[in-house]
């Protein structure tokens, strides 16, 4: 058994992950319940069922990016019969540190797609390019970390991100499109 199969076997099911959430659970479920795939999306996702993909998701319930990305991914996974397992980032740093963003950041979520043999097929995360652009634009207005107003500004930044993540259906479409394109480029 390969190492990624071992990580998959260690992971939580989607149901257990959601049940165990103490932060952002209602928001994640709200996005899940409001997000819908198009008929075209469903048709394409049906074509990859035979690939028998599985996914390991590095995440944490406090993460606003996970709160918006995971419910969208869950819908895709359902349509494509992708079996999923969730690993809490800070409890699985050995794996997380193999998927650092820009070689330094433990940004989440990271979705690792694997085949039946446990080999990585592709990965996605932590953000779609359009979401990264929005976050970069918003972050550019933050004061320096040593500024006395930094903490208040950062809290406002986090609230603004969460508000948009839970309500901006165009942003959700960007996430879905980026996830699907990642799979299309690999499969």
Query: Using one digit for the tens of pLDDT, what is the confidence trace for 39-63?
Result: 999 999 999 999 999 999 999 999 9
Percent pLDDT > 70 in the chain is: 99
Asked if 185 contacts 124 with a C-beta cutoff of 8 angstroms, the reply is no
**How many domains, in total, are found in the chain?**
1
pLDDT at 187: 87
Query: Using one digit for the tens of pLDDT, what is the confidence trace for 136-179?
Result: 998 899 999 999 999 999 999 999 999 999 999 999 999 999 99
d(CA 79, CA 77): 5
Nearest to 88, CA basis, from 117, 66, 105: 66
Q: pTM above the 0.85 mark? A: yes
pLDDT at 2: 65
End-to-end CA distance of the chain: 23
d(CA 113, CA 118): 9
Return phi, psi of residue 11, to 5°: -70, 165
Nearest to 181, CA basis, from 54, 44, 66: 44
> Residue 1: is its pLDDT beyond 90?
no
Average pLDDT over residues 61-88: 98
Average pLDDT over residues 117-138: 94
> Domain span at residue 97?
3-186
Average pLDDT over residues 71-90: 98
d(CA 94, CA 75): 28
Q: What is the domain-level CATH number for residue 168?
A: 3.40.30.10
pLDDT at 16: 98
> Residue 8: is its pLDDT beyond 70?
yes
Return phi, psi of residue 89, to 5°: -50, -55
d(CA 21, CA 80): 25
Tally of residues, the chain: 187
Tokens 């996605």 appear where? Answer: 124
> Residue 85: is its pLDDT beyond 70?
yes
Which two structure tokens, joined as six digits, stand for 79? 């349509």
Average pLDDT over residues 4-26: 97
d(CA 69, CA 173): 11
Radius of gyration, CA atoms only, the chain: 17
């Amino acid at each position: 058994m390969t190492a990624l199969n071992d990580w998959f076997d260690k992971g939580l099911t989607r149901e257990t992950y959601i049940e165990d959430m103490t932060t952002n659970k209602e928001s994640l479920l709200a996005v899940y319940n409001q997000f819908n795939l198009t008929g075209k999306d469903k048709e394409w996702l049906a074509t990859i069922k035979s690939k028998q993909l599985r996914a390991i998701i590095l995440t944490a319930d406090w993460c606003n990016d996970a709160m918006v990305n995971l419910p969208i991914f869950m819908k895709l996974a359902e349509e494509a019969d992708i079996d999923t397992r969730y690993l809490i980032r800070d409890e699985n740093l050995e794996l997380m540190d193999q998927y650092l963003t820009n070689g330094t950041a433990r940004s989440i979520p990271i979705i690792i797609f694997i085949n039946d043999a446990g080999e990585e097929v592709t990965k996605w995360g932590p953000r779609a390019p359009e979401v990264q652009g929005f976050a970069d634009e918003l972050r550019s207005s933050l004061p320096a970390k040593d500024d006395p107003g930094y903490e208040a500004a950062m809290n406002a930044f986090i609230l603004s991100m969460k508000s948009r993540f839970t309500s901006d259906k165009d942003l959700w479409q960007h996430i879905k499109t980026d996830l699907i394109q990642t799979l299309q480029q690999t499969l």
